[in-house]
Amino acid sequence: MLQFINVSKRYPAGGADALKNVNFELGQGEMAFLTGHSGAGKSTLLKLIALLERSTQGQVMLDNQNIGRVAKRHVPYIRRKIGMIFQDHRLLHDRSVFDNVALPLIISGHRHQEIHRRVRAALDKVGLLGKEQRLPISLSGGEQQRVGIARAVVNKPPMILADEPTGNLDPALSAEIMQLFEQFNQVGVTVLIASHDLALINRMGYRQLTLANGEMVTSNG
Amino acid sequence: MANRRQTIQHPRQAFNLKLYLHIHLHSFFSSLGRLARAPFNFMMTVGVIAITLSLPAGMLVSIENLKAVSGQIDLTHNLSIFLKHTVSLDKAKELANTIESDHKVAQTTLIDKQAALEEFRQHSGFGSALSSLGENPLPHVIQVSPVISFNNPAALKSLVIELKQHPEIKLVQMDMSWLERLNALLHIAQRGVTLITILLGIAVLLIISNTIRLELQNRRAEIDITRLVGATHAFIKRPFIYSGFWYGLLGGIGACLLVTLALWLLDGPTNALSSLYNSPFSISYMSFGSIVFWLALSVILGIVGSWVVVTRHLNDLEQ
């Protein structure tokens, strides 16, 4: 599903490499955690997959396709295969929960009834059914994160990337969010979660990819 | 590579006209709704565009009106024919009748040199000086009004050449030159208005670009999020281009309203003035064609202005 081959990334401004010669492979339907200290390169690695950045060297393969080489105009279609979840939720605060979750479907041009059905299904899965018309600001942090998750999965992407999804949540809420990811993984979605909540990760027992100073130090769980 | 690129395109999205129209209608009205939510800012920009465009539009309609005035000027006594001194009054009358029988001529008036001298003596104040002259220095004069269809400079010139064939005629003078000058001035004014239209059109383009640029900054987070969930550039651009459309359309309507209001305010005094001159002239308002022209121009400026800014912005964002 996802493969990094000798990937390096250097930002033009700073001198040091954010990623150095990273190699790993994530199989179809696999779930893994990406760990490491702040600044180890976790976010950079996720950005390379979502094409928010491009690698300086090496190949990032998604579905056997070198996405580092795709033309700009194809980038949106690659992003539609990936559900992205962020620590700060990245919700539109002037739109209702429904409109936020519906955004990926509107973008890919689904029909009205289809949008309604899928948004309700996604909100049901994250336990927010009945709160469609609320504004994100009126929800708790954990609920806002669920809205972000619903938005990421509403399009049924084959892969979910989460960048510190539990960073601002207490342990109980964090565990609930992680259970959600497990549920998506059980229906065949490939999941990669960047997190430094080692206690939680170790308890869950999935494969861990550990970055240190831009290098992949362990890639086996 | 090329084949592989094909596969990442969107196979399920065969072109669907209904869906396409639906998406466009959605952007169309949602962009208007967004503008209506900040009505003060919106109306300020629309006002600036309206005033900017009303200047050239107003000038153009003024020139059209002046042209109408110059066209309506009664061209009686367009040509003055000065006869040779040796021509007698009877001969002059005969000639006047001959000229009047020409199909190009509507009417002739003979000014007898004796009558003219008397008139001149009374009104000029040169009475005693004229008395000291042995003989009347004035010739007989025939004034010629051409028919309406010959009421233009070129046709009149050909008439002059024909008239000069008569041996009794010494000089034919056209009283047209001031009219030609007026027309020339109007021509220059028209050229000037064209230049002003271009300059102010660029100004409108810049106003709209800048407004859209500010809107892009305000909605930066929203743009980032829609990009993250896989929005194409076309999808992101659409609402901004519709905003440009609305600015252009409403600015254009505002400009037409301003010009019409100004003409309406001038209508009363103009009618009073033209009735003093017994002229049937009254102000003509913007024609349907010119309204369509100004609306189309301002809509095009709106769309182009926003398109350029949004395209540049998105290209800067994407690697």
A153-201 pLDDT, tens digit per residue, is: 999 999 999 999 988 788 888 998 999 999 999 999 999 999 988 888 9
At a CB cut-off of 8 Å and minimum separation 6, what does A33 contact? Answer: A192, A193, A194, A195, A201, A204, A206, A207, A208, A209
Strand A31-35 versus strand A190-194 pairing type: parallel
* Count of CA atoms in the C-beta half-sphere (13 A) of A17: 17
pLDDT digits (tens, 9 = 90+) for B37-79: 888 888 999 999 999 999 999 999 988 888 877 766 654 446 7
**Could you give the CA distance from residue A19 to residue A185 in angstroms, rounded to a whole number?**
27
Distance from CA of B17 to the nearest CA of A (A): 12
Using alpha carbons only, give the angle B205, B210, B213 rounded to the nearest 5 degrees.
125
For position B258, what pLDDT does the model report? Answer: 96
Which residues belong to CATH 3.40.50.300 in chain A? 1-10+20-81+157-221
* Percent of chain B at pLDDT exceeding 70: 89
Top pLDDT among B9 and A85 is at A85
Residue A221 has pLDDT above 60, yes or no: no
In chain B, which residues have their Cβ closer than 8 Å to the Cβ of A54? Answer: 319
Q: What is the DSSP letter of B139?
A: P
Is residue B143's pLDDT more than 90? no
Q: What is the pLDDT of residues B17-35, one digit of tens each?
A: 777 777 778 778 878 888 8
What tokens does B298 get? 């301002």
**Token pair of B255 as six digits:** 């400009």
CB contact under 8 A, B230 and A73: no
Rounded to an integer, what distance in angstroms lies between the CA atom of residue B214 and that of residue B310? 11
Q: Looking at the partner chain, which of A65, A75, A109 has a beta carbon nearest the beta carbon of B19?
A: A109
Q: Is the pLDDT of residue A111 over 90?
A: no
Closest residue by Cα to residue A85 from A165, A171, A159: A165
Of residues A65, A91, A109, nearest to B23 (C-beta):
A109
Task: Find residue B145's DSSP bridge partners.
Answer: B107
Q: In residues, how long is chain B?
A: 319
Question: Would you state the pLDDT for residue B72?
Answer: 63
**Are the beta carbons of B171 and B159 closer than 8 angstroms?**
no
Burial label for A57, CB within 10 Å (0-12, 13-18, 19+), is middle
Identify from B3, B6, B8 which residue to disrupt to test chain A contact, counting A C-beta atoms within 10 A and taking the largest count.
B8
Q: Which of A50, A77, A103 sits opposite B8 (nearest CB)?
A: A77
Question: Rounded CA gap, B143 and A30, in Å?
Answer: 106
Taking only Cα atoms into account, the Rg of chain B, rounded to an integer number of angstroms, comes to 33
Q: Chain A residue with minimal CA distance to B37?
A: A94
Counting residues of chain B whose pLDDT is more than 90, the rounded percentage is 33
- With 70 as the cut, is the pLDDT of residue B8 above it? no
Q: Is the pLDDT of residue B6 over 60?
A: no
In chain A, the residue whose alpha carbon lies closest to the alpha carbon of B10 is A77
| Mutation target vs A (from B6, B223, B224, B229; most A CBs, 10 A cutoff) | B229
Nearest-by-CA chain A residue for B222: A92
Q: Which of A4-18, A127-141, B134-148 has the highest mean pLDDT?
A: A127-141
CB neighbour list of residue B271: distance below 8 Å, 6 or more residues apart:
B282, B283
Three-state DSSP class for B273?
helix
Distance CA A105, CA A157 (A): 11
Is the pLDDT assigned to residue B301 strictly greater than 80?
Answer: yes
- pLDDT of res. B4: 43
Residue B146: band (very low, low, confident or very high) from pLDDT cuts 50, 70, 90:
confident
Mean pLDDT of chain B: 83
Q: Looking at per-residue confidence, does A28 or B32 come out higher?
A: A28
**pLDDT score of B1 more than 50:** no
Query: How much is the pLDDT for A185?
Result: 94
The model carries a pTM of 0.73
Planar angle of CA B54, B59, B65, nearest 5 degrees: 125
User: Is pLDDT of A103 > 90?
Assistant: yes
Q: Do A51 and B319 touch (CB under 8 A)?
A: yes
At residue B151 the predicted structure's pLDDT band, cuts being 50, 70 and 90, is low
pLDDT at position B131 over 80: no
Chain B residue whose CA is closest to A53:
B319
Give the model's pLDDT for residue B3.
Answer: 43
How open is the CA angle A13-A18-A19, to the nearest 5 degrees?
140
Listed in order, the ranges of chain B carrying CATH 3.30.70.3040 are: 79-174
Residues of chain A with Cβ-Cβ distance to B218 below 8 Å are none
In whole angstroms, how far apart are CA B187 and each of A187, B64, B182, B193, B283? 77, 11, 8, 10, 20
Average of pLDDT values for B68-93?
75
DSSP letters spanning A23-85 = EEEE-TT-EEEEE--TTSSHHHHHHHHTTSS--SEEEEEETTEEGGG--GGGHHHHHTTEEEE
Residue count of chain A, please give it: 221
Helix (H, G, I), strand (E, B) or coil at A19: strand
B79-174 maps to which CATH number?
3.30.70.3040
- CATH class of domain segment(s) A1-10+20-81+157-221: alpha beta
Q: Strand pairing of B141-146 and B79-83?
A: antiparallel
- Is the model's pLDDT at B12 over the cut of 50? no
